[in-house]
Chain A
């Protein structure tokens, strides 16, 4: 059986991906707060990744099972970020205005 779904307009997806890449590169030169830039960049990257997965990888036209398989690693990787959060407070070389700790020898 060959392709049961109608093909999306791949050129439209191509132009969207190109435009979003240009916006991404532009965003880092804007005078916004670092957190805002980070949120914008991650949102843009996830939008581009979704376009590739939904249209180029045909996820939009597939059974839900495949979509669930595809979403699992995203969920697990996001959880992993939170699992790593406690480590941040335990890193000895992190310096702040309140506490200055000299980097360990051979750290660099």
Chain B
């Protein structure tokens, strides 16, 4: 049992039900991504003409997108620190920067998709080999992109709520839970970047 737990508590009694709820949601969501990536691996291994991803997808832009998400994770934890330090201006600044990082990521992904589609990569085929290369690429990066979109909206709501409230404990918990989601989106991109672009 956790040393700080009260005798009446079970080891399952969480410090925050909201946080536990978010973790359970993220575990389920991670299974979604895990299934997609495992399916991707099986299809790729079973294909004799899978194109070399880094030759056709280009990794300099996506490496920068990875860096962008890492930066936005840092601004997210900085926002949380600012709430603890009770500095509302810094909270708004760092939450705003996190949202901006997510929005920039989405803009770059739209640019990347447009560029690749014009180069012949389609969901049902491509000029370089196995058609599933395009299918898996668009489904997995698209599913992640939808998560980033959801995160940008979620963080915008949190920014509005936190800006209007002076309840530090509540603001901290709301932002920490939203932060869990945002870091998870970053974590998933680390896996997507490795499996879809680098391997």
The chain A residues found within 8 Å of chain B, CB to CB, are: 1-4, 7, 10-11, 13-14, 17-18, 21, 24-25, 27-28, 37-38, 41-42, 44-45, 48-49, 52-53, 56-58, 62-66, 69-70, 72-74, 76-77, 80-81, 84, 87-88, 91, 93-96, 107-108
Asked if residues A45 and B191 are in contact (CB atoms below 8 Å), the reply is yes
In the A-B complex, the 10 residue pairs with the closest CB atoms: A77-B34, A91-B46, A73-B30, A45-B194, A84-B42, A95-B48, A80-B38, A56-B183, A52-B187, A73-B31
Whether a CB of chain A sits under 8 angstroms from the CB of B37 is yes
The chain B residues found within 8 Å of chain A, CB to CB, are: 2, 4-5, 11-12, 14-15, 19-20, 23-24, 26-28, 30-31, 34-35, 37-39, 41-42, 45-48, 54, 59, 63, 66-67, 70-71, 73-74, 76-78, 81, 83-84, 125, 130-131, 168-169, 172, 176, 179-180, 183-184, 186-187, 190-191, 193-195, 198-199
Asked if residues A18 and B74 are in contact (CB atoms below 8 Å), the reply is no
CB contacts (< 8 Å) of A37 on chain B: these are: 199
Q: Chain B nearest CB: distance from A14 CB in Å?
A: 5
Which chain A residue shows the least CB distance to B182?
A: A56
In the complex, given contacts A28-B54, A28-B59, A57-B184, what are 12 additional A-B residue pairs having Cβ atoms less than 8 angstroms apart?
A: A10-B77, A49-B191, A52-B183, A57-B179, A64-B2, A69-B20, A70-B27, A76-B31, A81-B41, A84-B41, A91-B46, A91-B47
CB contacts (< 8 Å) of A11 on chain B: these are: 74
Which chain A residue shows the least CB distance to B81?
A: A7
Q: Chain B nearest CB: distance from A76 CB in Å?
A: 6
Known A-B contacts A56-B73, A72-B27, A88-B42; A2 and B84 likewise in contact (beta carbons under 8 Å): yes
Asked if residues B191 and A1 are in contact (CB atoms below 8 Å), the reply is no
Known A-B contacts A2-B168, A14-B70, A38-B199; A88 and B45 likewise in contact (beta carbons under 8 Å): yes
